[in-house]
Chains A and B, each alone.
Chain A
Amino acid sequence: MNHRYNIKIFFYLLILNYFSVNLYSQNEKKIQFVGTARSILNNDDILVKDDTITSKSNMGGYALIDLGVNILPNKNTEILGMIRIKNQLGGFYGAGVTFDVRQLYVKGIISNVVRYQLGDINYKLTPFTFYNNDYDDLMQHPQVFNIQKDIVNYETFYKNNTWRQQGAALDFSLEFSKFLKEIKFNGFINRINVTDFNTVPDRFFTGGNIGIQQSKNVFVGFNYVSLFDLSGTSQNNSGFNNNVSSINYEVKFAKDNLVETRLFGETGLSNSGYSDVTSAPKLNDFFINMGISNFIKASHLKFSLSYLNVGPDFRSAGAQSKRVNYNNTPSFYDRYTNQQSLRSIGLFDLIRDEKLYNRSINSDGLMAYNPAYNNAMPYGIATFNRQGVNSKINFNDPKKILSLEIESYFLKELIGQGTPKLKSFKIIKTNAELNLKKLISIENNFKITAGFSFQSTIRNSEVNYEEINLNSAIVNTGIEFELYKNFDFLAGFIYNQAKGNEILPSRNIYSEVIDFNEYNINIKELMLGGGLRYRFSDKIYLAALYQNYDNSNKLNSQFSYSMNQFIIIYNMKF
């Protein structure tokens, strides 16, 4: 019954798609239908030694349509409304169906000068003010896993490092004939929390920037964001505020058209605190990020070196919000073992479980992180209490055969945690993509990707209890081979190993360190995947994938487990 229902949905969708092409004339597209349709069928199983309680196998899936109507009432206005119809596999006919509004916005231009957008807004400013940093992604994934990760990104509206917000935005620019080329003004205001008229006040996030483009080689930007509680919207007199202001700049030089040198940087200040709470500290600090990059045009080699200094009390809710909420529990097999213990989030969950991800910035203090994956920069480049250098080398072969990226961070704390002795951090990561189609001149697509990421945290001391030595390494490789036209074979693996100890700070609601917890880990994760994909077009595909995941916990072997998944995905964008 349910499959028949799903088929019906797709049938209606195809009809809609047909009309979407035909409802408007060639020149004046007043109404367009846009959206996505997807159907997933998955069969999972889990293997845990001596576990006689957890069900071994689980089948699930869903079919959904995101149906958006893009209306252009006049040449200066655009309205988008998108509803989602979702039907869970296994629900009774109609009973498992949900209807939601997925997107709603109005945007346009006032007097051909000021652009505005109301409703859902994807927004970002700079990496220290308002930015959806992707440090939780660790590195690029092989395509056999990226199919599901792309769905997660679609569900969470992660695109170009923007955060999805609800509010209003304006921007306009002034152009000059002398001295300056252009000045751009951007502003936004978003509502983060809705008052409950009792203890929770309305919380807003607002800001903007002024970008001055002096010439094509010189740019200076002034940025400001503020997260604040609106007084009088609840019975609670205490209000939180977090303000960040910064200047970012970029100066380009070109020498003989051979080398392009770029000076870049961002420097700023933050302050945050609570009004009417005497016990809450006022946190004020600054950050500096400045560097130089060279692009050697002849060799298509780009390298950069930058200095980073982010103060221990630097707080920026818009930039330090993490994508993954490590306090969430996985959607698949959240409990396991005979004790029905909570299963912690693993790599397998990170590539496929959108419920683990934030959809908006977090304004309730610092988010939890997993030291086994990212202990050096858990809050991205805006991670506080870090000082050091970052270097990066990029190579993009003009023939598009090879692309290579190597990046490293050598960082140290600015102040210690529980001791004056400082932790030092290293991050080394590389990503490479080899296009064998171009290399050996064949017709079919043939790509190999590989990645490596290593992190270490070290604190040396004469006393044992202060010593820290935590290392983690992730390796991945993927292959994408077009067997026949539009019919791809995909395979890959991701391997992660984390071993060592850390002493993690425990913070109160004001983000002050009040205690420490010893953390010891020795885990190995191996994820293998293989499958087939048929691309009907650039926007439509059908994929069948098999994935195996093994999580081996050396310190607590009873929590080791392995999982398998067979999944069929049909995805279509229109």
Chain B
Amino acid sequence: MTDLARPIGSRRHGTEVALIGFGLVLTMFAFTSVSAAYSSKFPSGIVSDGLGFIALAGVAHLAVRKFAPYADPVLLPSAVMLNGLGLVLIHRLDLASASRAKGAGVSAGTAAAPLQLVWTVIGVALFIAVLVVVRDHRRLESLTYTAMAGGLALLVLPALLPASHSTVNGARIWIRFGGFSFQPGEIAKIALEVFFAGYLVRKRDVLALAGRRILGLTLPRGRDLGPVLVAWGASLLILTRESDLGSSLLFFGIFVAMLYVATERRSWLVIGLGLFVVGSLLAYAVIGHVHDRVQIWLHPLDPKTITDQSYQLAQGLFGQATGGIFGTGLGQGRPDLVPFANTDFIASTIAEELGLAGLMAVLVVYLLIVMRGLRAAIGTRDDFGKLLGAGLAFGLALQVFVQVGGVTRLIPLTGLTLPFLSYGGSSLVSNWILLALLLRISDASRRPAPPRPDAPDEAATMAIRL
């Protein structure tokens, strides 16, 4: 089909080991650097925590080696590096808040880094579990409607729970019981991507073929607009009921992209964009906090709001500007001046202490995952796999764009997390699961095809489809 140079059947485990090693060296160097900035002592945690993280990466590698031997050797190392850097940055912000608490004479809050390390262990465990259990991604196709039910339930649950069990800092996107809290949106995202893939594989012929041509675009029949309108409505519902601008945008974006991939019809993009514009205008006009977000985006340094509503964005921008090209160095800046520096504004922390160079490097690592994911989607042989892979990879790209774009004031700020980097268990665990699925599809795409002499040639099916 495509890409004849694709190294089908090559395992390249050495590459993966070397890349993981590189990521681990970077992580350890960063960890030492943070510790050195805060005290002259040799960091005590570097042996236990450091070795623990190295062991974790090793186990993940062995699992890939055993259960997805042909998978792309770049994906896992990228995730290891981002996760490692995230742990170091969260630890660095812990140290800052501990020192502030000491100065204010109050007891410091719970350190986030140890918890994040526990979540990393859980994430890697689930990553391996997915690789072991889902031996063939096509088996997920049979779960299409289960995934839909599960995804919707997870998504809607916070809106149905009383606010005390669902709302943190104004966003109703949590499930909280006792000391346990979980943000179901991230898992729901994966479940819905599975559902979209399965659903669109079944409906794509209808959605792709029927319709009239107007102005060079083949418009779908009115009744075929159903699914996209449902997705649009659901996104607006998330927005109004849960005040979650980011997830709303993400779901709709992923759906439209997957619809386009499935049908190859540009009209869906036009319709999708049109609905997005209408929805955005509607939200801006009707929903107060969306209006506020846009105003903050336009005027973050307005003296009237800078100490209040736009404080976070303004402080984040100040931090990024202070970082300049090479950054202040780890532990040398003041990223802790930005509220939620270890979740929403971790990109700002990177920009301040590692500079433009560091932020660009991190973005390139994400781009690497996205492009390798899309490449796996192109390379895989079944439509469900293509759709799922494209959805997972594009979803990741969109999430990074919306997240970093918000923090750097390219677009209005939303409440998404930065995959693998932000503090937060649900996000981290979900992204490890997502990575496992991408590796599974990548493994399938690069696995030497079993001899199937009677199977119809793929090029022939393509010809018919086109």
Partners in one complex: no
A interface vs B, CB < 8 Å?
none
